[in-house]
Amino acid sequence: MTQTIKTIDFQKDWPKLGLPPHVIEVLSASPAIYVAEHREDLLNWALNRKSGETDWRHANREDKGEVEVGFDVPGKGYVAEAIVTKARNGIAVNFVDPKMRRRDPDAMVIGDKQPTDKPTYQERFGESFDKMRQKTLDWLKTQELIVVPFYAGPDELGYGALAIVPKASAFFAGALADLQGMIANSEVPANFKLTGGAIFIAPPFRHTHFEGKQVVVHARSETHQEVFAYNLYPGPSAKKGVYSLLLDIGEREGWTTNHCAAVGVVTPYDNQIVIMHEGASGGGKSEMTEHIHRMEDGRLLLGKNVVTGEQRTLNLPEACHLNPMADDMACAHPHYNEGQTKLSIKDAEAGWFVRVDHIKGYGTDPHLERLVMHPERPLIFLNHYIVPGGQALLWEHIEDAPGKPCPNPRLIIPRDMVQDVQEGPVSVNIRSFGVRCPPTHKDSQLYGILGMLHILSPALAWLWRLAAPRGHANPSIQDQGGGMQCEGVGSYWAFCTGRRVDQANLLLRQIVQHTDTRHVLIPNQYIGAWKVGFMSEWVVREYLARRGSARFHRDQLVESPCSLLGYVPRQVKVEGSMVPPVLLHVQSQLEGGAEVFDHGARMWKEFFKRELQPFLTPDLDPLGRKIIQACLDDATQEDYWKLIPHQMFKE
């Protein structure tokens, strides 16, 4: 018998929920509180309209609404933050300051005194967060507020959360509701508790206290985390801020939320495998759920040699069918994994934050274009050029400067609008890890020595997740340093509030407990001297699905000359077409050869040895210490294989 859950009208009855005292103070003092009954309410408020006022039908060509979002800033007067424009297929949000159009990797600051390896507010600003926190709450008390109740992670886990947003920046509330879900005003459970966390939005302080930079302060307590965001780009707050809430919960409870996309890949013969693709920002997570791109004649452009101009193509008559499962965050909660020998995950989000910088013209991705041109309900676009009342087009990106397109145009797609999306939890057959690689040849001796596919032992797979290289030309974040940088444990370290070693132990436990899930490594952008974009990822997806697993007979693999790169297939054949050997065995490329490969291998070894050292603390799992020490001692493949025993090869 299904138990009926009593609900309340949040806007009227929120005082009955037992919220924290400071939240009660803010909501009690606010001149007005708005809680959406429908998603479109938030989009109407973003255009400074009343609920139900906008005709969202695509045929509405006459609505040319445009609203400037700004705030009065002490000492600076009125400051504009963003322009919200009504489009036929949704709303387009463009930030005035180009620095606000993508995530600043240094945005996170810790505002509490719990253990952390991250910069604290005290260290960065020379004082405790207490005064700034109170100033923020006091400012919010003066504002008309939108409150968005939602669950951090899958609804059934029950991690209740609130976003408290100035009504003037209602588009942010809409973005959060699309990304994380929203609970309608009249459907909030009477037993709703703030166990997930809270997000407070206060843009003016970016100008008065933080020199115009993105700053997001995370303040943890014994029961939940609160996020104080001082900018309106949703990346570090509505997106990664909620990820931080989940990581904090998992750290306390002994599980983690993986930074990944997941997709069910169904072959033309109706066999399905599930691939979970992890990696730093720009590592190909969203692309793993994306349909393969074809040339006009239907062939696949495997790559173009940047030295000779030569192109290599592949014929693939019929591609696999895709059942997308997750785009960026997947909960590996114990509720889904009890007794499982393969890792089981479930999408942690209600919507997907899709980067479309690669879409530069009509026809690049027909499936996505078809979805957004005539959507069943209005969508939210960020960093897109738009004529008021016109159509928001995926390939029309706002310019950061004349002739310089913004590298981070985004689209938020509610999960239930994605074609053939599959609900979880699902068991993962293959965990892949993506790395952005630079062009590498005799005139560019860098670290792009990865072939199209590498097979990793579980121990090596864990090391790649600890280091999580950010890689070449990352489009998602403000990256001033360039070169090979570390994004850290599981590639989600940027969103963690605690200690590296705790997350390293959780990831190791996850891998050890689920050795029936196999591990591979896939580069994107360049394979040696060959520009491949994400085609390497798509071809490997087709290949592994047709094989049914990432397990090979021993004689089908060769050890990579670089021990960190595991094993490489001798050959890869997809539907009768062979992948050129130079895209598998990079040391055989005439433009580079063994000498260039060895230089890149040294770069990788130096990178790993440097980045793994901080994990060697007393609290590291003893097995983890053995694996890291093996890497520092230049272990062989057999050494790594024995550290986490499993059936590596087919018999």
What tokens does 242 get?
């909620």
pTM of the model: 0.94
Average pLDDT on 111-121 reads 97
* Residue 414 bridge partners (DSSP): 351
The CA angle 14-20-25, to the nearest 5 degrees, is 70
Q: pLDDT (tens digit, 9 = 90+) per residue, 194-211?
A: 999 999 999 999 999 999
The fold of the 257-349+421-585 domain, in CATH, is Phosphoenolpyruvate Carboxykinase; domain 3 (3.90.228)
* pLDDT computed for residue 446 by the predictor: 95
What are the sequence ranges of the domains in the chain?
7-39+102-253, 257-349+421-585
d(CA 406, CA 398): 6
The answer to whether residue 472 scores a pLDDT higher than 80 is no
Contact between residue 350 and residue 415 where contact means Cβ atoms under 8 Å apart:
yes
* Residue 577 bridge partners (DSSP): 574
The fold of the 7-39+102-253 domain, in CATH, is Phosphoenolpyruvate Carboxykinase; domain 1 (3.40.449)
Average pLDDT on 251-275 reads 96
Confidence of residue 2 (pLDDT cuts 50, 70, 90): very low
* pLDDT computed for residue 3 by the predictor: 58
Contact between residue 286 and residue 355 where contact means Cβ atoms under 8 Å apart:
yes
Q: pLDDT (tens digit, 9 = 90+) per residue, 16-66?
A: 999 999 999 999 999 999 999 999 999 999 999 999 999 999 888 899 999
* pLDDT computed for residue 1 by the predictor: 39
What residue ranges in 290-332 does DSSP mark as E strands?
Answer: 300-305, 311-314, 321-326, 329-331
Confidence of residue 651 (pLDDT cuts 50, 70, 90): low
What tokens does 68 get?
């400037």
| Beta pairing, strands 225-229 & 197-201 | parallel
d(CA 450, CA 585): 8
Q: SS3 of 160, please?
A: strand
* Residue 530 bridge partners (DSSP): 305, 527
d(CA 397, CA 475): 13
What residue ranges in 428-509 does DSSP mark as E strands?
Answer: 430-436, 454-456
Q: pLDDT (tens digit, 9 = 90+) per residue, 605-625?
A: 999 999 999 999 999 999 999
Q: pLDDT (tens digit, 9 = 90+) per residue, 393-448?
A: 999 999 999 999 999 999 999 999 998 999 889 999 999 999 999 999 999 999 99
d(CA 92, CA 415): 19
H or E segment at 7? strand 7-8
* pLDDT computed for residue 475 by the predictor: 60
Contact between residue 476 and residue 529 where contact means Cβ atoms under 8 Å apart:
no
* pLDDT computed for residue 474 by the predictor: 65
Q: pLDDT (tens digit, 9 = 90+) per residue, 312-360?
A: 999 999 999 999 999 999 999 999 999 899 999 999 999 999 889 888 8
Average pLDDT on 568-584 reads 96
Q: Where is pLDDT greater, at 534 or 475? A: 534
> Residue type at 504?
A
Residue written as token pair 């507020």: 145
The answer to whether residue 645 scores a pLDDT higher than 90 is no
Q: pLDDT (tens digit, 9 = 90+) per residue, 524-549?
A: 999 999 999 999 999 999 999 999 88
What tokens does 108 get?
């996170």
What are phi and psi for residue 273, nearest 5 degrees? -120, 155
The answer to whether residue 483 scores a pLDDT higher than 70 is no
What are phi and psi for residue 319, nearest 5 degrees? -85, 160
Q: SS3 of 450, please?
A: coil
